[in-house]
Amino acid sequence: MNGGVHRSGAAIAEFGEPPARNRVHSEPVTGAKIDLIDALMRTQRMLSSQLSAAFTPFGVSWAGYEIMQLLVRFDRSPVSILAMARHLERHWTSIAHTLNGLERAGHVIRYRNPAYRRENLVELTDAGHEAWIRAGEALAETAALCSSDADSAAALLAGLGSVERALRTIR
């Protein structure tokens, strides 16, 4: 076959068998582990739906809110798209796509860095700051529905942190 799709005996002898990808366990995942994954996925879908409904009136998505939050953390100083991508652990093209919507809504401005013309900088506008405040209030209302008390929220966050750390080792 073309393009190296077919692995002939000679190719296997020369290059070896392809490596197993992310194989941690050979047995299927069952019981509590699959229940945990199922619960996390269902919860994520429900939370995503709630956040979308909460943010829509302000012209903001979750990704847009994250960018606006980052710009506020930087004291509303200009931030490069690549710096945003690093901080948010997203590909720069995803950041740029989200910025397109925020820019159309008047929440951010994007311009070429005068000191380094190959770099674009982003700033939060006054309207964007106001939308960030309103979206944050909506987020707080949604978060209040998620947990009955601070101790439960802290325990859940600690548990999710251990799941996240375990998943990062698989990459």
CA angle, 120 as apex, 116 and 126 as ends, to 5°? 125
What would the pLDDT profile of 45-93 be if each residue is shown by its tens digit? 988 888 888 899 998 999 999 999 999 998 878 999 999 999 999 999 9
CA distance 129 to 131: 5
**Structural domains present in the chain:** 59-171 (1.10.10.10)
Reported as a pLDDT band with limits 50, 70 and 90, residue 14 is low
pLDDT at 149: 76
pLDDT at 140: 87
Instruction: Identify residue 112 by its one-letter amino acid code.
Output: R
Reported as a pLDDT band with limits 50, 70 and 90, residue 17 is low
Q: Under a CB-based contact definition with an 8 Å cutoff, are residues 107 and 131 in contact? A: yes
Quickly list DSSP for 22-52.
Answer: S---SSPP-THHHHHHHHHHHHHHHHHHHHH
Highest mean pLDDT among 20-24, 50-54, 117-121, 166-170: 117-121
CA distance 171 to 166: 10
pLDDT at 112: 95
Kindly give, in sequence order, each residue whose CB lies less than 8 Å from that of residue 72, ignoring residues fewer than 6 positions away: 124, 129, 132
pLDDT at 23: 53
CA distance 127 to 123: 11
What would the pLDDT profile of 61-71 be if each residue is shown by its tens digit? 999 999 999 99
pLDDT at 163: 82
CA distance 84 to 76: 13
